[in-house]
Amino acid sequence: MDNPVIPASGTFGFGYEFNNWFDISVLGSIALKGTTIEARYGNPLPRIAECPAGMINAIGLQNPGAVAVRDIELKKLAAVYPKKVIANVGGHSFGEYVETSAILSAAEEVFAIELNVSCPNVKGGGMAFGLDAGVLEELTAAVKEASSKPVIVKLSPNVTDITVLAKAAERGGADGLSLINTLVGMRIDLRTAKPIISVKRGGYSGPGVFPVAVNAVYNTREAVSLPIVGMGGIMNAENVIEMMYAGADCVMVGTLNLIDPCGSKKIIEDLPGVMERLGIDKLTDIVGRAHR
């Protein structure tokens, strides 16, 4: 990639929609909206709740299905975005993960598969596969066999020790890791005394989770040798530098895109100035600097 900034899956649609606000070709890459083998409507409304330092979402992987993403969404994106993208894959079974990964990895527009085994707002799938090290290792190996592209495993912070899962993904043959996915959260309506989100809980994201994400990336960098995509509450160029110091090779920006459609673009524009101020010549030189 020509820069390390990638809009995170679920916060940037299928990418081409944002070309109405800015030239998206400036982005390092794009992580597509989470995709399953069959079309999904997602969870019933309401499925968003605001928080003082972020938001909770329980969208539930709404998407048109793997074939439609390959044949329609990726073609629309390719018309306005010349670079390769990351396809995010979800599922309710090993078979669904494997089949969806095979379909999307065959698309010429895709350079990697991001395996979403850590989504906290999908019943019967998602996070369930990412909490057991043995299951995660087996699933990673199965997807690796089916995918013609590198596989990046997206890890959950909702565990005692995220490095146990990182090592399991590495044993399964993962080519990289992305972390962190959202924390589990809830908001309650003071008028009704009931949870705001229809399915009660959802994934908490935004600047409030940034220190948790930095810690997870730092610990994971010490535990494995795989490339790391760092994410979780990145709101500005300084956050990008801090995450790379912790050990991230590149970053994904999530909640900021929902606050400001041009947020990722602004971070890319601000990075050179922050690098100059901090005496950084090349971003690749600072990966893991906090460990040295």
What are 162-204's pLDDT values in tens digits?
999 999 999 999 999 999 999 999 999 999 999 999 999 999 9
The one-character DSSP state at 14 is T
Q: Check residues 120 and 53 and name the one with the higher pLDDT.
A: 53
Q: Tell me how far apart the alpha carbons of residues 120 and 58 are, in angstroms, rounded to a whole number.
A: 8
Q: What is the CATH number of the domain that holds 172?
A: 3.20.20.70
Which band of pLDDT confidence, cut at 50, 70 and 90, is reported for residue 131?
Answer: confident
Distance between terminal CA atoms of the chain? Answer: 25
Give the number of domains in the chain.
1
What pLDDT does residue 118 have? Answer: 62
148 belongs to a structural domain: yes
Quick one: tokens of 87? 């396809």
R_g over Cα of the chain: 18
DSSP string, 132-151: -HHHHHHHHHHHHHH-SS-E
Q: What angle do CA 116, 117, 121 make, to 5 degrees?
A: 85
Q: The domain containing residue 26 runs over which residues?
A: 5-44+57-183+205-291
190 belongs to a structural domain: no
pTM: 0.95
What pLDDT does residue 127 have? Answer: 54
16 belongs to a structural domain: yes
pLDDT digits (tens, 9 = 90+) for 50-72: 999 999 999 999 999 999 999 99
Averaged over 157-161, what is the pLDDT? 93
Averaged over 42-56, what is the pLDDT? 95
Strand order in the sheet with 5-7: 5-7, 250-253, 228-231, 176-179, 151-154, 110-116, 85-89
Please, are residues 243 and 253 in contact by the beta-carbon 8 Å criterion? no
189 belongs to a structural domain: no
Which band of pLDDT confidence, cut at 50, 70 and 90, is reported for residue 32?
Answer: very high
194 belongs to a structural domain: no
From 51, 119, 250, 262, the catalytic residue: 119
Q: Is the pLDDT of residue 273 over 60?
A: yes
Q: Tell me how far apart the alpha carbons of residues 141 and 186 are, in angstroms, rounded to a whole number.
A: 34
Q: Tell me how far apart the alpha carbons of residues 123 and 163 are, in angstroms, rounded to a whole number.
A: 25
Q: Return mean pLDDT, the chain.
A: 95
- Residue 136 contacts by C-beta under 8 Å, 6 or more apart in sequence? 117, 129, 130, 153, 165, 168, 169, 172
What pLDDT does residue 128 have? Answer: 66
34 belongs to a structural domain: yes
90 belongs to a structural domain: yes
Q: Is 51 marked active-site? A: no
The one-character DSSP state at 90 is -
191 belongs to a structural domain: no
Q: Check residues 81 and 131 and name the one with the higher pLDDT.
A: 81
Quick one: tokens of 161? 């020790």
